[in-house]
């Protein structure tokens, strides 16, 4: 697939604060790309630069090989589904969707046909004459998608489009969006702070933090082979422990030497070791590679979430078997469950569950949702 | 409690309305007294309509109100758009403060300052103030209406933020198309109430017109003022009654219209 | 600071918001020419004599009008206070009435507000006059016109709606839950009013007070008609200078009045901002 959009050394500051720092990225034709990151990481700014709502301070933006940095939004073959939809309140559903075609002075016959086609695609047939303010969030969302797609853009930008919907609807819309993308076959660039959404929809995920790209890869790559502590922590739950690489395929952490599958590090190089909570088995203390005391157990439906204190470091373990708090248990980790990462500026900031609580998690989610 | 509040409101509204009601009553008086009712008659209305001054003043008032409110609405709506998008906070604050001066200042000071300005301007241009009457009034009325227009339009501009215009441009509108096809239709309620306000303020203004105006351009408030300077005669009552009744009808009409709109909106939800 | 802002302005011109920066241009031009320049001319007149030479005489000569200033202030403050006293309960009761009645009350309030001030003032005069409607009706010979009371009554009558409207708007915006929460937490109805509603409607009170105080201080028509020629308020003095053509003194008076009013508005604004910040952080 050809490179459709290319960002070369793109930087952007607001009021002296650097929001994007020398971003290099290319996006292929027909891809579903997700820009994923916490609030303030610069993902929305990047989308707005591609859409033409902001101009980069430095760097180049290529579209099909041609520079478009200074091309205004209305001349770009790129359309956007905005976070709060931005439907035009003075127009009804039909006219909202027909809006881009009317600008292009398309013949009435053809407009009618294309709008009907779009309405069918987003399952809103029969809503033509409704006032947009009377629609539910999900319906407004569909109108926004139809309106953005009707003029056959080469790229659709979606800025946290599901943020305002409730959980159930969000899941349905995820599938629907993916289906729409397959049906129209164009590039979707999707911005979200929700890692689950990113993992389930994308061909490629671009993880961002602090105005920089942390990792680019397929969902499985990103989950299984995170490049640094930030990515490991942001995508799913992770225990991130300080370790020392003794030799290829041998790492020492928490006072025990583990066999692993990674290599290529220097001898005795300090590293970050990632172990996913679902990859740890609970065994009897004498059979465990590590032993510790259970400090809390929370029932989560599918599994129990167990916090274990191992020499002062708190691990999170997900297990379908119940263990009691205060119980002394052993942990067993398979070699392929251990992932080694080079030290980065994020080392030591994540992956310890000492201060972990669900409440803090929800709070930070709410913060992220406010960003736009 | 409910009873007491109703009695209180009736009492105050009663006091508020006694002068207006007596005014209307005595406009139909058969004698020229404004204290003893000597029988029903329309003589003062006849006298009023017989005088050409009334019609000239009415015509002038309407022309001035229409022109100044339209001008203020166009300038003010554009200004609201511009002010909202200004990047320099300092300049934005300075501009809104200056704009609001005519709203905050006592009318008498605004009137005085504009009068002095026009005297100077007429001096520089070398024309007679008499020939400048309408222009001076138009400028003065537009100036004191502007802050009210901006006050009505700016919150709506802020409400929509940049999202609507961004969406419009994303879908292929040039900035100008985006303004006329998307922003303006949605700003309309604010623009219209700003226009209405500017119109009524212009109709109603006496103090500034008194300072700025010249005998060549008489408006209704100025006419009323000159009438009340002389001995009291009920023809001024007749004129006032007509004005009050007009306002009353307009109020009811706009209320009924709003009520209908609200009910329609309510039913939808 | 200033330089930084200039930089931003320049950058703005470069990008696509050019059209929007042009949008405000007519207004900027208008405000500069017809608001700023006239005020500068007032200042110029205030500090020059008839020949146009620099002079402090107009400003120093204002001591002569000190008593008039004080009297205007006194009457205006009393009238504003009475408006608040009468208007607050009105606004409160209207806001508590059922929606249909609220609409009717609002219309009743708007009608006098939209009726020309001259007409309103004149109609009171006709009622209170020596041979007026009131005396004829009661068969008395009360002498009301020409007293302070008459002038204050005129001010209250003319400007009461301007007090009620902002307070009403403010109270009606207070969430209904606030009442319920306050009484749930143990406030008596009176305490709900004094501890919750009154502080929350403070911004309405402030804007009501400014909307009444400013025209009261500067009025000249009310004092002319209801003061019966025995009163001279500051507005009358300015108007007299205007009629007699002593524009320099008139400008000096306007200048001082403007400064005083802008300062007091600014103080009140600060005061209300601080208060609001305290209640709703």
Same domain, C174 and C258: yes
Distance from CA of B24 to the nearest CA of C (A): 10
In a domain, C52, yes or no: no
Q: Which long-range contacts (CB under 8 A, 24 or more apart) does C11-20 make?
A: C11/B87, C12/B86, C12/B87, C15/A55, C16/A72, C16/A73, C16/B175, C17/B85, C19/B175, C19/B176, C19/B179, C20/B81, C20/B82, C20/B85, C20/B175
- The chain B residue lying nearest C123, using CA atoms, is B19
Determine, yes or no, domain membership for C130.
yes
Separation in Å, CA of B269 to nearest CA in chain C: 18
* For residues A270-274, average pLDDT: 92
Residue B263: its pLDDT value, please?
53
**CA of A75 to nearest chain B CA: how many angstroms apart?**
6
Please list, in sequence order, all residues whose beta carbon lies within 8 angstroms of the beta carbon of residue C108, skipping any fewer than 6 positions away. B13, B16, B17
Range of the domain at A216: 3-224
**Closest CB to A103 among B171, B185, B268:** B171
What residues contact residue C147 under an 8 Å CB cut-off, 6+ apart?
none
Nearest to B41 by CA among B232, B235, B228: B235
Q: Which residues from A are below 8 Å from C when comparing CB atoms?
A: 55, 72-73
Q: What is the CATH classification number for the domain harbouring A290? A: 2.40.50.140
Query: Mean of the per-residue pLDDT values for chain A?
Result: 88
Chain B residues 143-182 with CB within 8 Å of chain A: 163-164, 166-174, 177-178, 181-182
Q: How confident is chain B (269 residues) per 10-residue block, as mean pLDDT? A: 86 91 87 78 86 88 95 95 86 89 90 92 85 91 95 90 88 88 91 91 91 87 85 78 86 75 45
Domain-terminating residue out of A177, A209, A224: A224
The verdict on A214 and A262 lying in the same domain is no
Does B5 reach chain A within 8 Å, measured CB to CB? no
Range of the domain at C24: 2-46
Does C252 fall in a domain?
Answer: yes
Query: A151–B171: do the CB atoms touch at under 8 Å?
Result: yes
Q: Give dist(CA C169, CA C161) in Å, integer.
A: 12
- Domains of chain B: which residue ranges? 1-41+234-269, 52-230
Residues contacting A172, CB < 8 A, separation 6+? A138
Say if residue C211 is in the same domain as residue C257. Answer: yes
The pair of three-digit structure tokens given for residue C235, joined into one six-digit string: 């507005």
Are residues A214 and A235 located together in one domain of the fold?
Answer: no
Nearest to C154 by CA among C111, C134, C124: C124
* pTM given for the model: 0.80
φ, ψ at A257 (rounded to 5°): -95, 125
Final residue of a structural domain among A198, A224, A250: A224
Cβ A308 vs Cβ A241: under 8 Å:
no
Residue C16 confidence (pLDDT):
47
Tell whether C51 is covered by a domain. Answer: no
pLDDT of residue B127: 84
Are residue A207 and residue A234 in the same domain, yes or no? no
**Which helix (DSSP H) or strand (DSSP E) does residue A9 occupy?**
strand A3-14
Number of domains into which chain A is organized: 2
Q: What is the arithmetic mean of pLDDT over A255-280?
A: 89
Please list every residue in chain C whose beta carbon sits closer than 8 Å to the beta carbon of residue A72: 16
CATH assignment of the domain containing C165: 1.10.3720.10
Closest approach of A155 to chain B, Cα-based (Å): 12
Place of tokens 């009726």: C115
- Classify domain B52-230 by CATH number: 1.10.3720.10
Residue length of chain B: 269
Are A220 and A233 contained in the same domain?
no
Same domain, A59 and A188: yes
- Weakest-pLDDT range from A228-237, A287-296, B192-201, C264-273: C264-273
Task: Specify whether A49 is located in the same domain as A157.
Answer: yes
C12 and C101, same domain (yes or no): no
Mark which residues 93-132 of B lie under 8 Å from C by CB: 95, 98-99, 101-102, 104-109, 112-117, 119-120
**C37 and C74 both lie in a single domain:** no
Domain identity same for C19 and C139 = no
Say whether residue C113 is in contact with chain B using an 8 A CB cutoff. no
Q: What pLDDT, on the 0 to 100 scale, is given for residue A166?
A: 84
- Chain B neighbours (≥3 Cβ pairs under 8 A) are A, C
B269 contacts on A by Cβ (under 8 Å): 134
**In whole angstroms, what is the distance from residue A192 CA to residue A176 CA?**
16
Q: Number of structural domains, chain C? A: 2
Does any domain span residue C126?
yes
Q: Is residue C151 included in any domain, yes or no?
A: yes
First to last CA, chain A: 31
Domain boundary (A224, A255, A281) is at A224
Beta bridge partners of A27: A5
In this model, does residue A358 exceed pLDDT 60? no
C20 and C72 share a domain?
no
Residues C10 and C39 in one domain: yes
Cα A85 to Cα A99: distance, rounded to the nearest angstrom? 14
Structure tokens at A260: 């692993």
Residues C77 and C106 in one domain: yes
Has residue C228 been placed in a domain? yes
| Measured CA distances, B31 to B27, B228, B235 (Å) | 10, 18, 11
Instruction: Check whether residue A147 and residue A243 sit in a common domain.
Output: no
Picking from A55, A86, A58, the residue whose alpha carbon sits closest to that of residue A69 is A55
The reply to whether C21 and C100 lie within a common domain is no
State residue A72's pLDDT score.
87
Residues C12 and C81 in one domain: no
Do residue A40 and residue A59 come from a single domain?
A: yes
pLDDT at A355: 62
C57 is a domain residue: no
Predicted confidence at residue A43, as pLDDT, reads 92
C236 and C118 in one domain?
A: yes
Claim to verify: residue A166 and residue A285 sit in the same structural domain: no
Which tens digits make up the pLDDT trace of C34-64?
999 999 999 998 898 877 788 888 888 888 8
User: Could you tell me if A63 and A152 lie in one domain?
Assistant: yes
> Are A68 and A93 in the same domain?
yes
Are C40 and C68 within one domain?
no
Closest CA to A202 of A184, A220, A214, A185: A220
Cα distances (Å, whole numbers) of residue C271 to B103, C61, C170, C193, C268? 20, 33, 17, 21, 5
Please list the pLDDT of chain C residue by residue as tens digits (281 residues). 333 333 333 343 344 456 667 888 999 999 999 999 999 999 998 898 877 788 888 888 888 888 998 999 999 999 999 999 999 999 999 998 888 888 889 888 888 888 888 888 888 888 888 777 788 778 777 888 888 999 999 999 999 999 999 999 999 888 777 777 877 787 777 888 888 888 888 889 998 998 899 999 989 888 888 888 788 888 998 988 888 888 888 899 999 888 888 888 888 777 765 443 322 22
């Amino acid at each position: 697939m050809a490179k459709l959009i290319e960002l070369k050394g793109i930087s952007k500051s607001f009021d002296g604060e650097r929001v994007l720092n020398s971003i290099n990225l290319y996006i292929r034709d027909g891809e579903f790309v997700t820009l994923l990151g916490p609030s303030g990481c610069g993902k929305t700014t990047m989308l707005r630069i591609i859409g033409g709502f902001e101009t980069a301070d430095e760097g180049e933006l290529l579209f099909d090989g041609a520079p478009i940095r200074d091309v205004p939004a209305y001349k770009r073959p790129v359309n956007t589904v905005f976070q709060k939809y931005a439907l035009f309140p003075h127009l009804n559903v039909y006219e909202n969707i027909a809006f881009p075609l009317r600008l292009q002075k398309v013949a009435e016959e053809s407009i009618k046909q294309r709008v009907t086609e779009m309405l069918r695609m987003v399952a809103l047939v029969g809503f033509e004459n409704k006032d947009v303010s009377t629609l539910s969030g999900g319906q407004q969302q569909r109108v926004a998608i139809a309106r953005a797609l009707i003029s056959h853009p080469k790229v659709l930008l979606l800025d946290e489009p599901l943020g305002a919907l409730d959980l159930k609807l969000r899941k349905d819309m995820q599938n629907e969006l993916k289906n729409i993308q397959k049906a129209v076959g164009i590039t979707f660039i999707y911005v979200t702070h929700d890692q689950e959404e990113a993992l389930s929809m994308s061909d490629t995920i671009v993880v961002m933090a602090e105005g920089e790209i942390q990792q680019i890869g397929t969902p499985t790559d990103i989950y299984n082979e995170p490049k640094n502590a930030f990515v490991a922590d942001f995508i799913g739950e992770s225990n991130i422990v300080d370790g020392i690489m003794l030799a290829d395929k041998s790492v020492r952490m928490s006072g025990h030497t583990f066999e692993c599958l990674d290599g290529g590090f220097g001898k005795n190089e300090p590293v970050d070791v990632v172990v996913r909570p679902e990859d740890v088995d609970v065994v009897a203390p004498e059979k465990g590679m590590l032993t510790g005391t259970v400090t809390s157990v929370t029932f989560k439906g599918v599994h129990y979430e167990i916090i274990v204190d191992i020499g002062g470091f708190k691990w999170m373990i997900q297990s379908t078997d119940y263990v009691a708090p205060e119980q002394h248990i052993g942990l067993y980790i398979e070699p392929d469950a251990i992932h080694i990462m080079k030290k980065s500026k994020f080392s030591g900031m994540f992956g310890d569950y000492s201060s972990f609580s669900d409440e803090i998690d929800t709070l930070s989610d709410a913060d992220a949702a406010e960003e736009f | 409690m409910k009873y007491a509040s109703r009695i209180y409101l009736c009492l105050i509204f009663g006091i508020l309305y006694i002068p207006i009601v007596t005014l209307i009553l005595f406009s139909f008086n058969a004698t020229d007294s404004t204290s003893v009712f000597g029988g029903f008659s329309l003589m003062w209305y006849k006298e009023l309509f017989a005088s050409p001054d009334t019609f000239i003043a009415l015509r002038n008032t309407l022309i001035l109100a229409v022109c100044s409110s339209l001008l203020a609405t166009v300038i003010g709506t554009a200004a609201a758009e511009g002010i909202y998008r200004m990047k320099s906070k300092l300049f934005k604050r300075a501009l809104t403060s200056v704009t609001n001066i005519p709203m905050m200042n006592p009318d008498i000071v605004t009137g005085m300052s504009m009068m002095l300005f026009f005297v100077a301007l007429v001096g520089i241009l070398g024309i007679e103030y008499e020939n400048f009457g309408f222009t001076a009034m138009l400028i003065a009325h537009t100036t004191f209406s502007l802050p009210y227009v901006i006050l009505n339009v700016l919150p709506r501009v802020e409400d929509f933020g940049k999202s609507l215009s961004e969406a419009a441009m994303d879908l292929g509108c040039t900035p100008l198309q985006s303004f006329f096809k998307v922003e303006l239709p949605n700003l309309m309620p604010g623009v219209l109430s700003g226009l209405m306000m500017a119109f009524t303020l212009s109709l109603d203004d006496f103090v500034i017109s008194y300072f700025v105006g010249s005998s060549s351009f008489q408006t209704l408030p100025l006419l009323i003022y000159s009438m009340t300077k002389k001995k009291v005669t009920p023809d001024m009552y007749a004129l006032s009654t007509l004005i009050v009744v007009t306002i009353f009808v307009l109020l009811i009409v706009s209320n009924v219209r709003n009520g209908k709109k609200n009910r329609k909106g309510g039913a939808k939800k | 600071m200033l330089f930084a802002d200039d930089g931003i302005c320049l950058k703005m011109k470069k990008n696509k918001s050019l059209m929007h920066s042009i949008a405000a241009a007519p207004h900027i031009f208008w405000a500069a020419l017809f608001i700023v320049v006239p005020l500068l001319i007032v200042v110029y007149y205030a500090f020059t004599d008839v020949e146009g030479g620099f002079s402090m005489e107009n400003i120093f000569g204002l001591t002569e009008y000190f008593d008039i200033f004080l009297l205007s202030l006194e009457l205006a403050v009393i009238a504003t206070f009475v408006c608040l006293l009468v208007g607050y309960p009105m606004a409160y009761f209207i806001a508590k009435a059922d929606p249909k009645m609220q609409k009717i009350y609002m219309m009743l309030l708007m009608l006098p507000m939209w009726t020309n001030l001259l007409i309103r003032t004149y109609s009171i005069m006709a009622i209170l006059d020596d041979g007026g409607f009131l005396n004829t009706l009661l068969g008395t010979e009360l002498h009301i016109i020409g007293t302070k009371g008459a002038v204050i009554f005129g001010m209250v009558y003319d400007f009461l709606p301007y007090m009620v409207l902002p307070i009403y708007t403010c109270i009606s915006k207070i969430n209904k839950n606030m009442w319920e929460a306050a009484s749930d937490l143990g406030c008596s109805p009176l305490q709900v009013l004094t501890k919750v509603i009154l502080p929350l409607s403070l911004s309405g009170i402030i804007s009501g007070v400014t909307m009444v105080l400013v025209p009261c201080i500067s009025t000249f028509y009310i004092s002319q008609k209801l003061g019966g020629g025995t009163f001279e308020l500051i507005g009358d003095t300015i108007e007299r200078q205007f009629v007699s053509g002593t524009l320099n003194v008139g400008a000096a008076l306007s200048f001082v009045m403007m400064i005083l009013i802008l300062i007091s508005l600014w103080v009140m604004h600060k005061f209300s901002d601080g208060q609001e910040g305290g209640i709703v952080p």
